[in-house]
Structure 1
Amino acid sequence: MGAAGIFLKLGDELTLLKETPYDSEDILQEALAKFPEVLAGPTTEGGGDARLMLVSREMGVPSTEQGPSNFSLDHLFIDHECVPVLVEVKRASDTRIRREVVGQMLDYAANAVKHWPLSLIRQALDRRASDDDTSVEELLAELRPDQDPEDFWNAVESNLMAGRVRMVFVADALPPELVRVIEFLNEQMNPAEVLGVELPQFVSAASVVYVPRVVGRTSAAIGAKSSSGAQWTRESFLAATRERCTRQEFQFVETLLADIQSRGVKLSWGRGATPGVGGWYHVEGRPTAVWVLNANTESPTTQAYLVFYLGDIIDRKVPDRIDAAVAHLEQIESLKHKLEEARASDWRRYPSIRLAEVVADPRAADIVLKAITELIDS
């Protein structure tokens, strides 16, 4: 019987690479950060063509709104479908891999979905780009060369707000107890996804080979999840919105779409699990995302919402326009506190309002259109 390992043939020579434990968890973490391709295998929804971009190692996760980062996620990636990928790494020799790591990951994901502002993720990628002596634009182009950067971030935010995240447990070997938990969670959760990746290393004097194996992609999980990576269109977005919103809310959506047609630049259709679209206008002569609409899920506990991208507009160096628009929006009672929070963060937090709150105030729809008028080129 042959020795346990992998035989690597280079030219006429055959080299045995033996499976070797990682000397430390940090070595495994560094390998993932440097070579994210080893994680970018088949997901529950798609094939094996996934690509990943590292956002940050040791990514902070707050447990309260605008609170400090109480938790530290091992890795945050974003895949080519704009889905945030949360990764926790443990060696097989770590006893926490059996139970504690599951609760830890769910804690991180629950708080990330609720308390991560998009600005926090963008700032983390800015730092990573600076550390690597590159630019965010170059990193995004490597991941999604076909997509406008603001469209990309709009889709990331839509996925995050909809809970469309991927949780990945990584180890050199996953214990059977954890594999069963991963499979169970992945079959039950939607649109969130739970996977495990075993990543043993096979080593020789001159080479290291990683052999990843994905677990959790069961036939039951694949059947339970609908394909949500396709881009929304006007027709599919309006059909979903008509089903999920009241008549008054749907009329407001039509009003915003018509406003883009009359004086805007374009509509940017999302790729998230929930129906989303961004409205773009000229600001200082440049196409700029001003708002994003999301029809949310079909659950009766979720509602459609509108997000104002004031942070992107402040980058155009037009603070007077922001002030004029906010003066209008502050007339909507439910927006006051969120606008105060956004101002305190130098507009890096994006104020949002549920469509139900817009239509509840007979003045609100007109106020929103007046605020947009203040923001865009005349």
Structure 2
Amino acid sequence: MKILIRNQKSEMWQMVQSVAYANETELQKLLAEQPSLISLNEVREGAGPLVAAVREFPLDIGSVDLIGFTADGDIAIIECKLASNEEIKRKVIGQVLEYGANLWGMGYEDFEKKILDKSSRNLADLVRVNLQNQEWDEESFRTNVGQALQSGNFILIIVVDEINEELSKIVRFINEAGKPAFSLAALEMRRFQKEQTEILVPHLFGVVNTGKSSTAGLRKQWTEERFFEAVHNSLPKEIVTIIQDLYTWSRLKSKRVWFGTGTASGSFTFHYQKNGKSVSMFSIYTNGNLFINYGWATTQVSAESLQRFHQAITKIPGFEGIPDDFNKWPNVRIKDVFLDKPNVLNQFKEVVEEFGTYFVLL
């Protein structure tokens, strides 16, 4: 492959030089730092970009080079090989399939323990940090990851610096003739350089699986009608009354009440808006849980503001045990803190309202 570039001020084209990777670890590191370089939507219809990846994921049969995740809960198993490695031909196919087979049927908790072996954060926190300020439904993510593990609905990707015909043909055969539940692709990641400029040329090979993402079509925007229909069908009448009260109050006090996109549970979130920024304060779910959104708020408001809010809310009966880890999303059950306790409900509203008068944006 030849690649030529030129400066807009010059009429001369110059050829860039192909640059080899020092080793497979270098290729692995590059993708771990920016997993979105792999365009999953070209591999599987409806799949979003990879937002986080864990290197050297441990299994009984060996370590997977990379395990990547979309915000919706798709799982990508990624194995990196250089053209100089003999395993780039047939062995790598068996290797990546064996990794998928070993993950198949694993429970979410066991899977997360392996994540913690390689990362200082649990899986949800790892994804959340990389999403920064984006709205995200953790419960749906966990559900979809668990479903992918149980069904084996993975995205298997072999990343190489230079493809060979044998590997490309095997991938095409598996996808066209086998019609598997998983998706398989070979991705060539060639690298070029001209002076201080580096160029990456990703190219997918093989007819990829056109099946939809394991989460496609499941995530739908909840509405007030859908939310309260689910609440009425799943919770006692007295809890529904409390949630309705909090929702009505939220609509009065917040300029933005946002409904989530969960698959298993619906939610609405109370936001403050200031200087064009939206600050997420708390969320209420159709299962009767209330989450304090420290994890989002810590990226939006000052630590002093959050500390003041935390000191106020932990004085409310039922909220005393909320940790002051502002990277977390602590939660309480509505029936435990508010049922038959109108004074506690009013105290909660007062603390949230007061926060709106003093918080300082980052």
TM-score bracket relative to the smaller structure: 0.5 to 0.7
CA deviation after TM superposition for structure 1 residue 304, in Å: 3.4
Distance 2:253 2:347 in 1: 17
1:88 is aligned with what amino acid? Answer: I
Local SS of the residue matching 1:232: coil
Question: Please, what is the CA RMSD of the aligned residues?
Answer: 4.6
Distance 1:358 1:60 in 2: 40
Q: Are 1:283 and 1:376, in contact at CA under 8 Å, matched by a contact in 2?
A: no
- Equivalent residue, structure 2, for 1:355: 334
Count of matched residue pairs: 285
Alpha carbons of structure 1 residues 252 and 59: separation in structure 2 relative to 1, 3 Å: farther
Alpha carbons of structure 1 residues 230 and 119: separation in structure 2 relative to 1, 3 Å: same
Local SS of the residue matching 2:219: coil
Alpha carbons of structure 1 residues 213 and 270: separation in structure 2 relative to 1, 3 Å: farther
- Equivalent residue, structure 2, for 1:323: 311
- Equivalent residue, structure 2, for 1:40: 41
Distance 1:109 1:73 in 2: 20
Q: Does 1:103 align with 2:107?
A: no
- Equivalent residue, structure 2, for 1:74: 66
User: TM-score, normalised to structure 1's length?
Assistant: 0.58
- Equivalent residue, structure 2, for 1:217: 211
Q: Does 1:290 align with 2:281?
A: yes
- Equivalent residue, structure 1, for 2:52: 55
Q: Are 1:260 and 1:281, in contact at CA under 8 Å, matched by a contact in 2?
A: no
- Equivalent residue, structure 2, for 1:375: 355
Distance 1:277 1:258 in 2: 12
CA deviation after TM superposition for structure 1 residue 351, in Å: 0.5
CA deviation after TM superposition for structure 1 residue 305, in Å: 1.7
CA deviation after TM superposition for structure 1 residue 27, in Å: 4.3
- Equivalent residue, structure 2, for 1:309: 293
1:197 is aligned with what amino acid? Answer: L
User: TM-score, normalised to structure 2's length?
Assistant: 0.60
Alpha carbons of structure 1 residues 217 and 375: separation in structure 2 relative to 1, 3 Å: same
Q: Are 2:157 and 2:186, in contact at CA under 8 Å, matched by a contact in 1?
A: yes
- 1:1-378 aligned at under 5 Å gives the runs 24=24, 27=27, 30=30, 33=34, 36=37, 38-41=39-42, 43=44, 47=45, 50-58=47-55, 74-78=66-70, 82-90=71-79, 93-94=91-92, 95-104=94-103, 107=106, 109-110=108-109, 111-112=111-112, 116=122, 118-123=124-129, 125=130, 150=133, 152-153=134-135, 155-163=136-144, 167-171=154-158, 183=181, 195-199=182-186, 201=188, 209-215=203-209, 217=211, 227-273=217-263, 274-282=265-273, 287-295=278-286, 303-314=287-298, 315-316=301-302, 317-318=304-305, 319-328=307-316, 331-332=317-318, 335-337=319-321, 339-340=322-323, 343=324, 345=325, 347-360=326-339, 362=341, 364-377=344-357
Q: Are 2:72 and 2:141, in contact at CA under 8 Å, matched by a contact in 1?
A: yes
Unaligned 5+ segments in structure 2 are: 3-22, 80-87, 116-120, 149-153, 159-166, 193-200
CA deviation after TM superposition for structure 1 residue 77, in Å: 4.0
Distance 1:210 1:29 in 2: 19
Distance 1:366 1:325 in 2: 12
Alpha carbons of structure 1 residues 293 and 102: separation in structure 2 relative to 1, 3 Å: farther
Distance 1:348 1:60 in 2: 24
CA deviation after TM superposition for structure 1 residue 366, in Å: 3.7
C-alpha distance after superposition, 1:278-305 (max 9, x if no partner) = 111357996411111222xxxxxxx332
Q: Are 1:38 and 1:212, in contact at CA under 8 Å, matched by a contact in 2?
A: no
Distance 1:362 1:215 in 2: 54
Alpha carbons of structure 1 residues 106 and 291: separation in structure 2 relative to 1, 3 Å: farther
Structure 1 or 2, whichever has the larger Rg, is 2
Distance 1:354 1:213 in 2: 48
CA deviation after TM superposition for structure 1 residue 268, in Å: 1.0
CA deviation after TM superposition for structure 1 residue 106, in Å: 5.5
Q: Are 2:57 and 2:67, in contact at CA under 8 Å, matched by a contact in 1?
A: no
Local SS of the residue matching 2:220: coil
Alpha carbons of structure 1 residues 180 and 354: separation in structure 2 relative to 1, 3 Å: farther
Distance 1:157 1:83 in 2: 9
CA deviation after TM superposition for structure 1 residue 109, in Å: 4.8
C-alpha distance after superposition, 1:186-228 (max 9, x if no partner) = xxxxxxxxx322226599x9x874225444938xx98xx8832
Unaligned 5+ segments in structure 1 are: 1-6, 9-22, 62-70, 126-139, 141-148, 184-194, 296-302
